[in-house]
Amino acid sequence: MIDACHIHPFSLSNDDTVSNGIALSPTLHRAFDRELIYIPADYKVKVSTVVNDIDSNFTLTQFNEKEIFLPNKESWFPSVESLSWHQENVFIK
């Protein structure tokens, strides 16, 4: 399954454009919303240092430094501005 995830929350930005969204699995969507992962301008997932799940069968840390798949059209890429906003205002370092 895939979720459509707002990068800069719609409730704060009223931005429902493609570039303010990212397609994530339900698990990664929840991790993104709960400040456990972010995606910087290089489009590689970063996992918070508070995540300590190495001994788990399914780990968030397995996604650390993994590049996301980007759309074919650059105009549909996740907005670097929105990603930066999420990193600065939401993510737990």
How confident is the model over 19-45, as pLDDT tens digits? 999 999 999 999 999 989 999 999 999
Structural domains of the chain, count: 1
Predicted confidence at residue 90, as pLDDT, reads 81
Q: CA-to-CA distance for 15 and 17, rounded, in angstroms?
A: 6
At 54, is the pLDDT very low, low, confident or very high (cuts 50, 70, 90)? low
For residue 92, is pLDDT > 70?
no
Token representation of residue 36: 């456990």
Whole domain around residue 36: which residue ranges? Answer: 3-89
**Which pLDDT belongs to residue 93?**
63
Is it the case that residue 53 has pLDDT exceeding 80?
no
pTM: 0.84
Measured CA to CA, the distance from residue 87 to residue 93 in angstroms comes to 9
Give the whole-angstrom CA distance, residue 72 versus residue 76.
8
How high is the pLDDT of residue 91? 73
